[in-house]
Structure 1
Amino acid sequence: MIDLYYWPTPNGHKITLLLEEAGLPYAIKPVNIGRGEQFAPDFLAISPNNRMPAIVDQAPADGGAAVSVFESGAILQYLAEKTGLFLPHDLRGRYEVLQWLYWQVGGLGPMLGQNHHFNRYAPEKIPYAIDRYVNETRRLYGVLDKRLDGRAFIAGKDYTIADMAAYPWIVPHENQGMDLADFPHLKAWFEAIGERPATQRAYALGDEIKGRFDLTTDEEARKVLFGQGAKV
């Protein structure tokens, strides 16, 4: 059994995409990041960067004690290796996937996250910041669109953790100021993944969580999400 510490954000969706595709049994442990649950000591013990998602694998492959993993890219790689799915076993195929996984966690996610912040959540509109991150979003969409020219998926013909990492960050493309019609190869890829039954189950689960909890980004939530200072 996998315990998944989760909230319905792009990084959270990455993990449910894989778990639903692989058919692994898992239990959702909601972490309401707008109400500060990511700072609870029990959660920090498995995710010291106070970010979700995180997992605890109660039955690791080596038969030993439970294994906890934080950071969405590391979780995707761990679960792919555990199941033998969505990550090629040959040297070249494996690194074809891993380099695009790391591209997402190091570039696509952070830059699009800043786009979301300055466009939707920042207390004041800063044109320079908005323009910078919208333009960088457009550049990254262009990189992905070019990569998908002639390919069904990011690493080639097979669906992998590279696709699972990138897809949730494209879902809110309208809020990022992007029109998928400008990126036809990306658009075809996006639509194909959206039609997968596992994708639909993963997003239905996210909708169910949204229905159970208060996701309002009020002043209290803003302070929790964006007001954290350094602590030593």
Structure 2
Amino acid sequence: MGRFQGSTVLISGGARGQGAVEARLIVAEGGCVLLTDILDAEGEALAAELGPAARFLHHDVTEEAGWARAVSAAEALGPLRGLVNNAGIYIPKTLMETDAALFERHTRINQLGCFLGMQAVVPAMERAGHGSIVNISSTAGLRGSPGAIAYSATKWALRGMTKAAAIDLAPRGIRVNSVHPGPIDTEMLKIRTPEENAVRTRLVPMQRNGTAEEVAKLVLFLLSEDSSYMTGAELAIDGGASL
């Protein structure tokens, strides 16, 4: 029997990248997944690949009503015991290059979306008996990150929100932890040139980018009962980049 037998996990931004790998591993361990994203074709294809244990739902994480629909769809698959707040954007600009609209777009998707997700799943997790929330932050939420002020602001916010929510939700049997990836070999890196990414990789003590599979395995640990005495923790997975 797998670690997620009889449980459903809701993954926002689950159509590709880290979210997609997490979904595959959860299903492989007996769980069900509700994938949400705005990338409909990729999300539908992934759900079809995973079979009856997976469903896809078009979902804008900034809309409160959308979260209610997502929770309902997840519970239709089984008791909702996991949430991965994975949806996010990364549009790196310096302080002087960033306008108010770009800053607000980051805060709505990366920060408000996470807040709405945590709030939305609490009643369902209480009905399920317990739950685990994993917020995907970044090493940009652990240290200064050049040329990415809006992104950094939201990832620092997730770090604080995780700790506050962990305190609030512990009496309800819900754990909340944050994961802080460094450079991971996914679509998100394509916003920078190969040369810029190479420079960044050379700054990583382990001298390589991480993989979506490495992040997914950490996320699954936090979702599972293997981490049953962990809440409010912040775990860097970055090859030493935040040291």
TM-score with structure 2 setting the length: 0.35
TM-score with structure 1 setting the length: 0.36
Higher normalized strand content (fraction of residues): 2
